[in-house]
Structure 1
Amino acid sequence: MSPASLKTYVSEWENGRRSVGEDDRSILRSIYGLNDQELFGEQAEVHSVLDDAYSELARRIEESKSVDLGMVNTLAGQTELFRSWDRQMGAPSLADQLSAHISTLENALAYTVLPSARRPVARVLSGAATLAGWQALDVGGVDRAWRHYELARRAAAEAQSPALMAHAMGEQAYVLVDAGKPDLAYELICEAVSSAQDSAPDRVVAWLCAAEAEIAAIVGQADASHAALERAAASLPGGDEMRDPEVPGVFLNDTHLKRWRGNVRTLLGETEAVGELCAALELMDGTFTRAEGSLRIDLAQGYFASGKLGEAREQARLARSLANRTGSLRNRRRLDRITLQISTEDN
C-alpha cells in the first residue's frame, strides 16, 4: 500500500476502528520481532475467558459431589410423585414441572464424574424420561415423546440396565404406531422383547409381551398376538403386586393383564372381549383414571361390534368424561372414531 494508505491503516488500528488482518499481523510480527500477545494483548483476554470457563466447570463438578444416594432417592421420589399424579389427573398440568425435573437430572448426570456415581442418576433419569415420553404422546406431542424416549434409552445404557432399555423401546414403539408406522413399531417391540428375555425381571418381560400382543393385533397378526398374550401370562408373577423396583414405570398384575387382553381381543374383533373387559373394570384400582378411560373406550368398541349401541354410547360417554378430566388427547381421538361409528350406525 502507499505511504498515505499505510498511515490511515495504522491510525485506524491504533484507534480500534479497523481490525488487523492476518497478512498484516504476519508483517508486523516480522518487523517488531514480537508475538500476537505482545503486539495486541489479545491472549490475555482469551486466557481470562478460559480461566472463567474452567472455574465454572470445576464448580459444577464440585457441586455434583452432593448427588449422593440420599439425593438420588429424593429425585426418584419426585419422579414417583409425578407418576402418581399423572395416572390420576393426566399429563397437561405436569409438563413444566416434569421438564424442570428432567433438566435437574440431566445436569446432575453431566457433571458427575465416576461411573459408580453416574449409574444411579442415569436410572432415575431413564424412568423420568419414559414418563415424560408417555405424557407427551398422550397430549399429541409425538416428536417430543420420541426425543424423551431417546433420552431414556441413552440413560438406560449409561445405567447399564437392559430392563430400562427394553421398557423405553417398548413405549417408544407406541410413538411409531401413532405416527403411522405400525410395522416398524412391531419390529421394535419384538426386538425389545428379545433383548429382555434373559436380562429383565419377569414382570417387565410380561409387560413387553403384552405390548407386543397389542401391536401385533394392530398390524393384523392375530396368531402372533395370541401367542404373545400367552407368553405374557406365563411370565407374569402371581399375586396382587404390580410393581418391580428395576423398572418403576411398569404397572402390571393379573387385573391389568385382563384389561390388556380385553383391549387386544377388541382390536382383533373378538366379541368375547367384552366379558373380559367388564371383569377387569370390576377389579380395577380407581386411581388409574386414564387407564379406566382407555378400558371404557375398548368396551364401547366391543359393544358396538356386538350391535349393542346403547351400551356403546354409555361407555363412550363415561370415557369422554374421563378423557376430559385427564386431558388425554390420545383417548379423545379414539373416542371420536368410535362415536362417529355409532352415529353412522344410528343413521
Structure 2
Amino acid sequence: MTGDGTADAVAPLRQARLNAGLTQAEAMRRFVAVQDLGEHSPTGASLKRMFAYWERGERAVGVEVYRRAFAAIYRASYEVLGFVPDDATERIATLREADSSLHVDGELVGLFESQTQNLRMLDRRLGTTALIQQTELHVRQMHDVLDRAAGGQRAELAAALAAAAGLAGWQALDQGETQRAWQLHETARTAARESGNAAVLAHVTAQSANVLLDAHQNHLALSLIQSSRTELGTKAPRLLLSWLAAAEAEAAAATGDRTHAERQLDWAQSRLDDDGAAELPFLMLDDGHLGRWRGHCLARLGQSEAIQDLTAALATARDSVRAATGLYVDLAHAYQVTGHAAEAATHLRTATQMADRYGSRRQQNRLRALSVTAQR
C-alpha cells in the first residue's frame, strides 16, 4: 500500500505475466526455452534476480532480444509490456526495419516449398539423423524471412513455414527430443494460424499429438486431435479428413479404447482418396499406409489381427525408412503380445538393425521396452 492507502501499481511486465496465467517459475522456464531470438538468456539465480528487478519495475528490460522473448511468451505488444524505447532507439529500429524488410512473392515461396519437399523426400530415403540439422536451419531461415516480410504473399510464406517446422518437429521426435519436437510444432502452429490455412493448421496440430503420445499423455493427445478436427470441420480435402481420423484412431488405441479406434479407422478408410493430394504434399496416405496404421493400432490393443495387416503392409513399407522401421517394431510387438516369441525375436532383430542404421532413437526406445517385456 502507498501512504495514502491506495494499492501500489503493478509493474507492466508482472501484470502481463498475470494476464497470461503464468507463475514466475513458468515464465522463467519459457524465457530460457526461447533459443531462436539470437542471444543466450541468463539462467538460475541470475535470471531469478533479473526477473525480480524487472517485475518490480526497478530496472528496464534493455536488451532487445529479451524484449522479443517477453513479447512472444506473453503474446503482448511492447507498449503493454512497458517497453517504450527512447526516440533515438525508435528511429534506429524503424530505419533498420525499413532497410531489412522483404517483399515476399510467389517465386520465393515456391523456392522454400521446393526445398522443404526435397528435405521431405530425402528424409524418407535417408532417415532423420542425416537431415535434422539441415531441416532446422531451413526452418530458421524461413522464420527470419517471415519476420522481415512486408506485404506480398506473407500468408503463403507462413503456411510454408508451418509445413517445414512440422517436418522438423517430426524429425526431432524421431531423435527422441520431445521438448524440441514440441517447440517446433509450436512454431508450426503459430505460423499456420497466421497463414489462415485451416488444412495446414489441422495437420500440424494433430501431428503434435504424437509428442504427447510419446510422453504417455494419451488422453491429452486424443483431445488435441479431436479439437483440431472440430475446428477444421468437414469442408476439407478428403485425404486430410482420412488422415485425421487415422490419427485419432491411434490416440484412441493408446488409451485402450478399441471400439473408438476401429470406428475411426473404418471412417478413415471410407474417406480415403487422392482428393487434395497435390495441395497436401506433407501427407503420405494410401491403402497401404492406412493398413500399416491399422496394424499399429491393433498391435497397441493386443489384437492378433494386427499381424495380418502389418504383414500385408510390408509390401509398401519401403517408401520411408522411418515408416519401415516402425513397421518392424510393430510386428515384433504384435507377435510378442499374441505369444509368438520366436517370430517376435526375428522382427525385433530386424527392427533393431534398422533403428541403429537410421538413427531413430524413438524406435530404439520402443525396442528397449519390448526387450524388457520379452525377458520377463
Deviations 1:11-48 (A, max 9, x none): xxxxxxxxxxxxxxxxxxxxxxxxxxxxxxxxxxx766
Structure 1 position 322 matched with structure 2 position 354: yes
Query: Which residue is 1:227 aligned to?
Result: 263
Whether the aligned pair in 2 keeps the contact of 1:60 and 1:111 (CA below 8 Å) is yes
Deviation by residue 1:119-161 (Cα, 9 ceiling, x = unmatched): 1101110100100111111112111111111111111111111
Show the counterpart of 1:279: 312
The CA distance in 1 between the partners of 2:116 and 2:183, in whole Å, is 18
> 1:333 Cα deviation (Å)?
0.9
Pick the structure with more helix per residue.
1
In the alignment, which of 106, 110, 128 is matched to residue 73 of structure 1? 110
How do 1:125-140 residues align onto structure 2 when only pairs under 5 Å count?
A: 125-140=161-176
| Of 178, 181, 201, the match for 1:142 | 178
1:219-246: CA deviation from partner (whole Å, max 9, x where unpaired): 0111111111111001111xxx698233
Corresponding residue number in structure 2 for 1:101: 138
Structure 2 equivalent of residue 25 of structure 1: none
Shift, 1:102, TM fit: 1.1
**Match for residue 312 of structure 1?**
344
Contact 2:124 2:322 in 1 (8 A): yes
Kindly provide the amino acid, as one letter, of the partner of residue 253 in structure 1.
D
Unaligned runs of 5+ in 2: 1-85
Deviations along 1:48-68, one digit per CA (max 9) or x if unpaired, are: 65544333211111xx12x32
Could you tell me how far 1:247 is from its partner in structure 2?
Answer: 2.9
Which of 204, 210, 214 is the aligned partner of 1:178? 214
Contact 1:196 1:205 in 2 (8 A): no
CA distance in 2, matches of 1:337, 1:100: 33
Structure having the higher Rg: 1
**RMSD of aligned alpha carbons:** 1.8
Shift of 1:274: 0.5
- The Cα offsets for residues 190-240 of structure 1, whole Å up to 9 and x where unpaired, read as 112222332321111111110111110110111111111111001111xxx
In structure 1, runs of 5+ residues without a counterpart are 1-45
Q: Which amino acid aligns with 1:123?
A: A
User: 1:154-173 alignment to 2 at 5 Å?
Assistant: 154-173=190-209
SS of 2:362's equivalent in the other structure is: helix
Q: Does residue 118 of structure 2 align to residue 85 of structure 1? A: no
* Aligned-pair CA distance for 1:166: 0.8
Q: Residues of 2 paired with 1:242 and 1:172: CA distance?
A: 23
CA distance in 2, matches of 1:335, 1:260: 18
Task: Select the residue among 97, 116, 119 that pairs with 2:155.
Answer: 119
What's the TM-score once normalised by structure 2's chain length?
Answer: 0.74
Native 8 Å contact 1:119 1:159 kept in 2: yes
Q: Is the contact between residue 76 and residue 124 of structure 1 (CA under 8 Å) also seen in structure 2?
A: yes
